[in-house]
Structures are given as C-alpha cells and as structure tokens.
Structure 1
Amino acid sequence: MSETIGYILEFTGLVLLVLGYRKSNRNLMLAAALCLWFGGGISDFVRGFLHGVGV
C-alpha cells in the first residue's frame, strides 16, 4: 500500500515537473518537488509509523 502511494506521488511529481517547466510556472515546479520528495520517503514513513503503533 505504501509503495503504491509512493509511486503515485513520484509519477505525479514528474508530470507536474514537465508541465511547470513548459509553462515556466514556479508553483507547479514547487509542487513537483514536494511530490517527488514525499514520494521518495512516504513508504519508509508509513512502515515506521505502523511498526511504532504496533499494527
């Protein structure tokens, strides 16, 4: 489940990066950077959170 969310965020980040670059829109490129950043670390975060909760 957490890997799927990570892949979705990474794909969304790549799409936003291309759109932001083509339109010269800094806000889209910022959103792309955040999606790529969260997409890279979300699986570890979710796994650690579930381990800490004890599920």
Structure 2
Amino acid sequence: MFWVEIISFILFVVLTIIGYKSNKRNIMLLASIILLIGLAGPDFLSGFSEGYNDATASNRAL
C-alpha cells in the first residue's frame, strides 16, 4: 500500500499545480479527493474487511 500513497501524493502535487496555473478549482478539488482516497483508503478498507469478517464469524457462532 506504500505505492498507493506515493502515487496519490504525486498526482496531488501535479494536479494542484495544473489547477492553480489554469485557475480551475475543480482540478484542485479532484487532487484533494485523490490525496484523501490514497491516504485514508487502505486503512478504511482493512478496517471494513476486519469488521465484516468479525460480524460474519459472530453470526455463525449463534
């Protein structure tokens, strides 16, 4: 998951520069969303899968 963080950070920097120079706020917003997904996405997915697996395991025990 380290590569996902690096790629999202590089995309964030490039898109922010492009959006700032061309005065397009939507590109800068997209850059921020990419950074958010790249940094928080892997932890969210691992937590979600752990919670789902624990919930299904506890339902099987009943």
TM-score normalized with structure 1 length: 0.71
Counterpart in 2 of 1:40? 39
Q: Does 1:6 align with 2:5?
A: yes
**In 2, Cα distance between equivalents of 1:34 and 1:21:** 16
What fraction of aligned residue pairs are identical, expressed as a percent?
32
C-alpha change, 1:6 and 1:53, in structure 2 (3 Å) is: farther
TM-superposed CA distance for 1:27, in Å, is 1.3
Where does structure 1 lack aligned partners over 5 or more consecutive residues? none
TM-superposed CA distance for 1:15, in Å, is 0.7
> How many residues of Structure 1 are paired with residues of Structure 2 in the alignment?
53
RMSD, matched Cα:
1.7
**Which has the bigger relative contact order, CA under 8 A and spacing at least 6?**
1
Highest Rg: 1 or 2?
2
Give the letter for the 2:8 counterpart: L
Q: Does 1:26 align with 2:25?
A: yes
TM-score normalized with structure 2 length: 0.65
Where does structure 2 lack aligned partners over 5 or more consecutive residues? 54-62
**In 2, Cα distance between equivalents of 1:45 and 1:7:** 17
TM-superposed CA distance for 1:53, in Å, is 6.9
